Chain A
Amino acid sequence: MNKKRKMFIRMIVASLVRRRSRMIVALLAIIVGATILSGLGLIYFDVPRQMSSQFRSYGANIIIAPESDGDVSYEKLQKSITYFPSNELEGYTPYRYENSKIHNMPVTLAGTDLGSVLKTSPYWHIDGELPAKNGEALIGAKLAESLGISKGESVSTVNTFEITGEMESIDIPDYEKYTDPETGETHCDHTLDLTISGILETGGSEEEYIYISLEDVEYLTLSKRGYDIVEVSVASIKDKLSEYTEKISKDIDGIKAKLVKRVTASESSVLSKLQALVFIVTAVVLVLTMICVATTMAAVIAERRREIGLRKALGAFNSSIVGQFMGEGLLLGAVGGILGSVLGFLFAQYVSQHVFSSPITFRPLLIPITIVASVIVTGTACLMPIKSAVEVDPALVLKGE
């Protein structure tokens, strides 16, 4: 028994080595098939994750707002941020809106975290720079045009307060008290000087605001409070996003998290289409590659009818011939499957780095699947031609008909 097995292995190996060039050709076909299976498989599973971070260029997909009147306090914001897994959270930006005046024209100031604003609004086109420090401001293009302000200029925003008894005690240097001649009320103007570091172009309503740091807003309005709205950008699928928002709205009193429907609804529709596309493309390519592998194997075996005839003439049983050829086929399938899954991973990695500039998620399960699949395909492909080859009449084949 042991001897027989040894002989069997020796025959397979010898046959593969002797017929090197033909076997390499067959192996190549299997490798390409396995590469396509494992490569496209990896891409198929990774596309939603990779694409959904691309979709974040649409900006925030969740907003956190106060439940009714009021604001989102710093503590509540910090607490709600913990509900998002850190590997999915792209960024969040709080906004606090205040009315003020520039050149006696009413404007809206948006106090925000200027360091993180581009994470939730990556589509902002800034002519100039983002404000780097307090006292600098980013102005919307429309507002800049109507106020006649250009980049690099300095402007002053002025907030007017009515002086009440309580406030008169506050003593801040840039207070200028004056009395309105009509109403007789005492007012004071609190001024904040700003240097325009850049002009913001978005084509949307953002162009009508001035963006400054939260500290500047606090200084100008002499009041410290929470945020009017917080924009959050999370790279995740729609179902998970709604789960997060429901939890936050339920767990934390006084604030509610909402999906930006326009972004999330459309994103999931595009994403599912894209994944379906990769899936069906993989399926079509795979079926065709399998047929190619099968025809190659069929051709390789058909070529060896003479060898089969010779062995039969020497007294080999059909079963041992089938065993030998199947052994060869399965060995080729296994080797091709292993090499193919490595190459497929490299291909998927290349695609991922090239297209999405981030590494692909490795899925170990795909390796055994690829190997098993290529063994099965090669085995099935060998079965038919081996069967017909076994049925040959040794005399006819050896004579050369």
Chain B
Amino acid sequence: MFFRMVKGTFIRQKKKLLMIALTVALGASIATAMLNVMLDVGDKINEELKTYGSNITVVPQSSAVISKLYDTEEEDDDAQTEYIKEEKVGELLTIFWANNITDFAPETDTTVTLNNSEVGLVGTWFNHKLEFKKKGSVYTRDTGVINLRSWWDVESGTMLNEQAVSGDKYAMIGRELAEEKNIKAGDIITVSRDGRNEELEIIGVFESGDDDDNMIYTTLSVVQRLTDTVGYIKKIEVSAITSPEDELAIKAAKNPSLLSGDEYDLWYCTAYVSSICFQIQEAIPEASASAIRQIADSEGKILEKTELLMSLITFLSLIGATLGISNLVTSGVMERSQELALLKAVGAKNGQITFLVLTEIIFTSILGTIAGYFLGYGFAQIIGHSVFSSGVEMSGMVAFIVSVLIIFVTLIGSIPAIRMLLRLRPSEVLHGGH
């Protein structure tokens, strides 16, 4: 009988219940979209912040020497400078947080003679296809400075595409140096060092807005031949997506071995810049990885602010959604006073009526929530694609939060209505007076 009554309501009161379901669906869709965007905005902004370039540098353990200080001392310096084996670079991708490493590039820099004057030459990967082994299988991955120097403006020529050219005798030149030496894209230059010469074709002239404007960038193998260090590199720049630093990260940064077991696990399994550095050192023992404070700190700060901003906006929209839902539920229930008064008149108990109404409402809002979740999924994707040109990742937790929230809100919304219904006098209502 109970089910027949519920079913009856659904058929007879189609329009009113549809209205409630629609409101619930709208509210649920706001909640779903906002919560998903809020949870994903950190990752999205973090990816955007990657345009600032690398946030970790990896150098040989004992090269903490003054290599850049004196150009004139460079000769002696090279003899002392230690190197990392180039084959070790792939090890970066075997660490726990490997998926958070967005780009990296090994580097060796030196000074060479060009037209009788000394200039800086940097050898690196532009868009190198790296083969690396992980758990026995071999993978490949494209990485290099193309993404790490996203702020470069190529003024003439094009960016060097390693994979599209044959051989390695190519270079990019900084704007100021190009002007000074009157070098244009397409020119062939000869650089020499210690009696070794290399002829390089200039693929493009770039403007970087910093010291790089006076440098030449070329492929790693060219510099390795010039400095007689084939198979070795001086430095790796790494760009990784990291979590904002908190107390645990600050504590760990001083000395990870002082953490308690649980703290250590939590720290190790969180993408703090310090734990990623630590894991890089574990993977490449002869190297020392350190955070570039300018990038790492600011990223943390901006992320934190963005997430806080989004969570407050989400909070406001959740209030809007819940108020809308409870409003509609209240008026939806109240409209049915006549029918319910009739039930009372034929002898239904208050408990029975309440149960009946609640079942109907909750059933309706479950349908509404399901529809709203998918609607919200759509909204989240629209937001993701129009702002970040990539979809927003849906979190299972959101589905759970939204359903709990909606059921709760629906129940709260029904309370005033039900209280009013219980006070109804059947005779008055049925007679038609209010």
Contacts and interface: CB of A to CB of B under 8 A. Distances in A.
A274 B294 contact: no
Nearest to A121: B294
A278 B291 CA distance: 31
A25 B338 CA distance: 22
Contact of B209 (A124, A202, A261): A261
Given A266-B150, A273-B387, A261 B297 contact: no
Q: Please list the 10 inter-chain residue pairs (A to B) with the smallest Cβ-Cβ separation, ordered nearest first.
A: A261-B209, A292-B324, A266-B51, A265-B151, A203-B292, A299-B331, A57-B298, A123-B297, A123-B293, A285-B317
Interface string B284-299: 0000001111111110
A284 B53 CA distance: 33
A58 B65 CA distance: 26
Contact of A262 (B19, B27, B53, B57): B53
Nearest to A283: B383
21 contacts: A28-B327, A47-B309, A55-B298, A57-B302, A106-B73, A202-B294, A208-B69, A261-B209, A265-B150, A265-B209, A273-B48, A274-B306, A277-B37, A281-B310, A284-B383, A285-B30, A288-B320, A289-B320, A292-B321, A292-B323, A296-B331
A11 to B, nearest CB: 17
Given A281-B383, A284-B383, A400-B432, A261 B52 contact: no
Given A29-B324, A40-B316, A288-B26, A355 B293 contact: no
A244 B334 CA distance: 64
Contacts of B296: 203
Contact of B51 (A108, A205, A269): A269
Contacts of B151: 261-262, 265-266
With most chain A CB atoms within 10 A of its CB, the pick from B65, B308, B316, B319 is B316
Contact of B208 (A208, A262, A277): A262
Interface in A135-153: 142-143, 145-146
B30 to A, nearest CB: 5
A292 B27 contact: yes
Please report whether the interface of chain B is mostly helix, strand, loop or mixed according to DSSP: helix
B210 interface: yes
Nearest to B314: A281
Contacts of B306: 274
B397 interface: no
B139 interface: no
Contacts of A99: 70
A355 B316 CA distance: 15
Interface stretch (A31-39, A181-189, A330-338): A31-39
Interface string A269-282: 11001101110110
